[in-house]
Structure 1
Amino acid sequence: MNTPFTRFAEWLAAAEATEPNDPNAVALATATPQGRPSVRIVLLKGWDEQGFVVYTNLTGRKSLELKANPFVQLNFHWKTQRRQIRIEGPVEQVSDHEADAYFATRPRLSQAGAWASLQSRPLPDRATFETRLEEVLQRFPDEIPRPPHWSGWRIIPESIEFWQDRDGRLHDRELFTLGTDGWTSGLLYP
């Protein structure tokens, strides 16, 4: 039987071949401790059978929500492919080693931005942020280390649904669910 990861790899590769911008863009839905939903687009930066990884500021709104309520949903939507994938499960913070390795691959300006941004907090004007960014670039004239307040989150999948658009809204839907004996799958009505 195909695993959900085999299918995910196939669908992501198809999206990478056809999507003009950010085929790794995914909606990340979190919730506050009070259950209020919050969704935003992030970029998937790694994945394997252990989970799907995104990176962010640990003091920003999304991380605070993840710490308070560590269950999320991801939703990839590739319009040109007429496909979407929904992934649900808990999150865990990635190791420092994994975060350091990814941070080292980021462009210098993105690295500096991770230090300069007080993510999700009010910003009086753009000049304030640009001043902070310039201060970081001067502080680190060579290599920019990963800030201690910046890391990644791994979404550990418990269910993965593959949705393929069909004429007349008669879509194909297959749901993979992780149980004690591994992954099982079944079809869902459109």
Structure 2
Amino acid sequence: MSSLSCRPARRWLQRAFLLLCLAGLPLLNACTSPPDGVSVVSPFDVKRYAGQWFEIARLDHRFERGLSDVNATYRLEADGSVAVVNRGFNTAKGEWKEAVGKALFTGDTNTASLKVSFFGPFYGGYHVIALDPGYRWAMVIGPNTDYLWILARDKQLPPGVREQLVAQAARLGVRTNELIWVEHSRSDS
């Protein structure tokens, strides 16, 4: 078979691949957009958000299963991205586990809607939906109500805040009865 007879087939395959990639773009966007009907915090100041946060509560996922003393550190980079370091203690193995990622704003940097990647080109939504005016606590939801984190600058929430955040999450359809309240017993967390 000559190379001339392969050109139409090759061109057709290239076009089909391009169309397949374009058709998949909405699916990738769905992984980084907030759930329908969820309002994201705005105005938002990423410089004030930067620093260490303790995970107070989360919904269970394999990437954090069995971890206690979980914290996240965010650092604004010169290019406008945010470096993310998640760290937790694996109680079954008796060792610390760490994941390093990168977050990018999905739009305006004054809106707390980001996408985070720990695995190369694959991103997941990270949307701050509640934030203390003093940046002392926050609640974050993923691309759907199966992902939720309650974070604080301290290892505990102020009285009343826990109930307020759980009630807000329940109104959004989050299964709040499945929240894992994270233990912080290690001094080096």
TM-score (norm 2): 0.28
Higher helix share: 1
Q: Tell which has more relative contact order, 1 or 2 (C-alpha 8 A, sep 6+).
A: 2
CA radius of gyration, larger in: 2
